[in-house]
Structure 1
């Protein structure tokens, strides 16, 4: 009986040891943990200050725990994760977030979503933007595709 426990423990130990990978990207863990990506601006002529302010405003909601903001030429994508206890109020939360953003930034065109798939795509775009091979034009095109995805999911 003791030998069985030792074998079981050894197998579990080996599986746990093989699981450690220091090169795991945020997009691979985005659905399981808080990634808290930095706000991204796809238009190289715009500053990052207003985007930081938008992220701070959305993060101030107690129901939310992870926020990603991507600002393009025309659209600003705001994606967030809702804490588990507040998932029944998602429509109200989205309405409140939208209302606050429209009131504070009337000239911006916001797309707000709590969809995990959209959040994952936003994190992937953030990772691609860090690459030197990914141009601002490609990032703007990808942002437009993500915004179109939000229309399909509603």
Structure 2
């Protein structure tokens, strides 16, 4: 009887601990549903930069094969992470090629990092959420963006 009681207490503790809701809210569900993260700029946040990231987001959202886009502009790079509709996953290389071509044609002076990888998308959504916190510095945000870009280059 005593062993059953101890086992019951241990199992209850494990179950309650496993239901912890720490961490960003949107990043946890961003792989399951459309989250529509707000395009953000790191560093100088001018009207021109805001218009640029919104324009990039709109251009990417025009692709019928996609259902979610995250755009983050850093000092030198613009990260574009997107999710592809399930039935379009067979055309991933063509989609990425088309996206790159559209971005390079329309914004030749910008340096784009484009990824359909879920891990990159998740990291971008998490960075966007962290930037909403006033205690999260621009320096930390740029460092995190560079880590995401490095991760993207490692995956290819």
TM-score interval, normalised by the smaller of the two chains = 0.7 to 0.9
Q: Distance in 1 between matches of 2:137 and 2:44?
A: 10
Please list every run of at least 4 consecutive aligned residues from structure 1 whose deviation after the TM superposition is greater than 3 angstroms: none
Taking the TM superposition and a 5 Å limit, the aligned residue runs for 1:3-152 are 25-46=25-46, 47-152=49-154
Label 1:102 to 1:127 Cα distance change in 2 as closer, same or farther (>3 A): same
Label 1:24 to 1:144 Cα distance change in 2 as closer, same or farther (>3 A): closer
Q: Distance in 2 between matches of 1:27 and 1:84?
A: 19
Label 1:24 to 1:149 Cα distance change in 2 as closer, same or farther (>3 A): closer
Any idea what SS the aligned residue of 1:48 has? helix
- What TM-score do the two structures reach when normalised by structure 1? 0.83
CA drift of 1:137 comes to: 1.1
Cα contact 2:84–2:116 (8 A) shared by 1: yes
CA drift of 1:132 comes to: 0.7
CA drift of 1:24 comes to: 6.9
Q: Distance in 2 between matches of 1:32 and 1:149?
A: 22
- What TM-score do the two structures reach when normalised by structure 2? 0.82
Q: Distance in 2 between matches of 1:113 and 1:149?
A: 11
CA drift of 1:45 comes to: 4.3
Any idea what SS the aligned residue of 2:99 has? helix
CA drift of 1:44 comes to: 2.2
RMSD of aligned C-alpha atoms? 1.6
* Correspondence for 1:8: none
Q: Distance in 2 between matches of 1:69 and 1:40?
A: 7
After superposition, the C-alpha distances for 1:89-119 in whole angstroms (9 at most, x for unaligned) are 0011000000000000000000000000000
CA drift of 1:151 comes to: 0.5
Cα contact 1:44–1:136 (8 A) shared by 2: no
Paired residues, what number? Answer: 134
Unaligned runs of 5+ in 1: 1-18
